[in-house]
């Protein structure tokens, strides 16, 4: 999978919708992962995870989603380091690829005050692609297409919500009793 330059949101939504019209959700997932920004992809991963484990995700998954969400909402290397530290434990569950997407979102990253600054390539698209397919695979063979279609519908809604112009940015943080996902405008990601 090659990371393409980001499409504008209207073109991305239209291209994804064209794949959906052909009943090819898996192709639409590829298109999303090849063309969306790192922040859009991680947010989409969070939304898909919430929709999978609603109303109460496992605590390990909820913690990882919280780390990824904070990186989306607040940005900064501090939250990328949080993701890297979480990956060093065995307590990340199925969200390992989601946290790897945060860590490998591109740019320089110094893990602690004694380490060297390390360049990180932007591999977000590959890690989110893997994360989405991990969630789809967990649905079992009978429901896989239905789940893939649902996830790409989530992407379309997320992208479409940005078309209505700037909106206040909500602060949905996962908790033991998660709130329903709220769509951030893509323009803020």
Spell out the SS3 assignment of the chain.
Answer: CCCCCCCCHHHHHHHHHHHHHCCCHHHHHHHHHHHCCHHHHHHHHHHHHHHHHCCCCCHHHHHHHHHHHHHHHHCCHHHHHHHHHHHCCCCCHHHHHHHHHHHCEEEEECCCCCCCCEEEEECHHHHHHHHHHHHHHCCCCCCHHHHHHHHHHHHHHHHHHHHCCCCCCCCCCCCCCCCCCCCCCHHHC
Mark the ranges of the chain whose per-residue pLDDT is less than 50: 166-183
* pTM of the entire predicted model: 0.81
Of the candidates 127, 116, 163, which has an alpha carbon nearest to the alpha carbon of residue 13? 163
Amino acid 159: pLDDT: 87
Amino acid 50: pLDDT: 93
pLDDT (tens digit per residue) in 57-88: 899 999 999 999 999 999 888 899 999 999 99
**117 CB-near residues (< 8 Å, 6+ apart):** 108, 109, 110
Question: Residue 2 and residue 45: Cα distance in Å, rounded?
Answer: 19
Question: Residue 174 and residue 103: Cα distance in Å, rounded?
Answer: 19
Amino acid 173: pLDDT: 42
Q: Report CA Rg, the chain.
A: 16
**Structural domain boundaries of the chain?**
9-164
Amino acid 2: pLDDT: 52
């Amino acid at each position: 999978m090659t990371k393409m330059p980001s499409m504008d949101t209207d073109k991305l939504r239209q291209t994804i919708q064209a794949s959906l019209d052909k009943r090819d959700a898996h192709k639409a997932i590829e298109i999303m992962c090849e063309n969306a920004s790192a922040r859009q992809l991680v947010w989409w991963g969070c939304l898909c995870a919430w929709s999978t484990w609603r109303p109460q995700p496992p605590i390990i998954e909820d913690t990882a989603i919280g780390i990824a969400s904070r990186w989306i909402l607040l940005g900064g290397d501090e939250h990328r380091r949080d993701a890297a530290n979480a990956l060093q434990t065995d307590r990340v569950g199925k969200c390992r690829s989601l946290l790897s997407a945060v860590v490998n979102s591109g740019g320089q990253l110094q893990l602690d005050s004694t380490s060297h600054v390390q360049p990180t390539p932007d591999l977000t698209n590959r890690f989110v692609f893997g994360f989405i397919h991990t969630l789809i695979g967990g649905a079992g063979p009978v429901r896989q297409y239905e789940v893939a279609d649902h996830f790409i519908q989530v992407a379309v809604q997320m992208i479409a919500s940005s078309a209505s112009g700037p909106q206040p940015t909500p602060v949905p943080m996962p908790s033991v009793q998660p709130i329903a996902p709220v769509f951030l405008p893509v323009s803020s990601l």
